Amino acid sequence: MTDSTVRFGLLGAAAITPLAMVTPAREVDGVSLDVIAARDTARAKEFAETHGIHRVSEHYQAVIDDPDIDAVYIALPISAHAEWAIAALEAGKHVLCEKSLCQNAREAERMKRAAEASGRVLMDAFHYRYHPMFEAAKHCVGSGELGAIKHIDARFHVKGPVSPHDIRKIYDLGGGVTMDIGCYPLSWLRHLMGEEPDVLSVEAKEDPADVDVALAADLRFPSGATGRISGRMDECSRFCAAVSISGEAGQLSLVNPLVPQLGHRYQLRKGGEVIDRTFDQKTTYACQLEAFLAATQGKASNLTDAEDGLKQMQLIDAVYARGGLRLRGEGETHIGQSV
């Protein structure tokens, strides 16, 4: 360990943590995972022993108050993100927060203010954004190589159905397919276009009430391009993660921009020519952790910062509102249309 090492405290022993933090921390220089706290202390101890975390705290606040901790990774239920991210920022810690950043735009605004006041990094953990495959796609769209963009279609579906006991199906914990899965296609489109869209229409399926298990939305961007996104985790769902971009001069197809290290396709069709590109197997999570470290050192821009997180949550709120669905953390119950 060196003086420049960023010492992390982990909040939560979530299933995503080994993939998103433990393994990347072994691959990226300048990172130490020092302490973990979870709602179930026994589970935290088991996690620490399994993954080589140095210490276990009995409460999240103890991690935040620890003077030897520089940054906090939050992998709690979405309903708890805002509370503990704000507490960490106010304590002078940098924060890497799992998506969705929080329950709604109102909470995101509070998180943004806390990040600005503290001068610390708040990163929304959309790991895909830091991988060379997505950077290449964004450059292709932004360079005009495809001509004016006419339409983008993005899908992220997981094999369903999801257990009724899964936190993604519990409204009070910030559940819903759009919060956990459909947020990716929304983010893909926002970042590829570099614009914030209007929501034209939404089709949704709820199970149980207030919890979307399938949702599709039609969007329109200020440039005139249209988009469609879908997220599914219902009984009809099978795995799919893909983006199709159609421009006046060509088309770009991305298969698995989510975790390209597990296999991907990047295919450009233009002027009768088909160009395939292959990217290295470096994980999106390692790319994200490197970017987080660089942002804390002022060496690189935070591409999914508090401002971007606020715009993302404003769009999710707009999707729910257009679909007649209850916002996470507030609002009244409505019945959405069926997919």
Domain ranges of the chain: 6-127, 129-322
Residue 2: its pLDDT value, please? 53
Give buried/exposed letters for 62-73 (b at 16+ CB in 10 A, else e): ebbebeebbbbb
CA distances from 62 to 8, 33, 71, 86, 91 (A): 13, 15, 13, 15, 11
The CATH-assigned architecture of domain 129-322 is 2-Layer Sandwich (3.30)
The CATH-assigned architecture of domain 6-127 is 3-Layer(aba) Sandwich (3.40)
Residue 4: its pLDDT value, please? 83
Alpha-carbon distance 184 to 279, whole Å? 20
Please, is 211 exposed, middle or buried when counting C-beta atoms within 10 Å of its C-beta (0-12, 13-18, 19+)?
buried
Residue 171: its pLDDT value, please? 97
Q: Which residues are catalytic?
A: 99
Residue 229: its pLDDT value, please? 98
C-beta of residue 295 within 8 angstroms of C-beta of residue 154: no
Alpha-carbon distance 327 to 71, whole Å? 30
C-beta of residue 317 within 8 angstroms of C-beta of residue 104: yes
CA distances from 270 to 36, 149, 159, 276 (A): 50, 13, 33, 11
Q: pTM (2 decimals)? A: 0.95
- Mean pLDDT for each consecutive 10-residue tract of the chain (339 residues)? 83 97 96 97 97 96 98 98 98 98 98 98 98 98 98 97 95 97 98 98 96 98 98 96 98 98 97 95 97 96 97 98 95 40
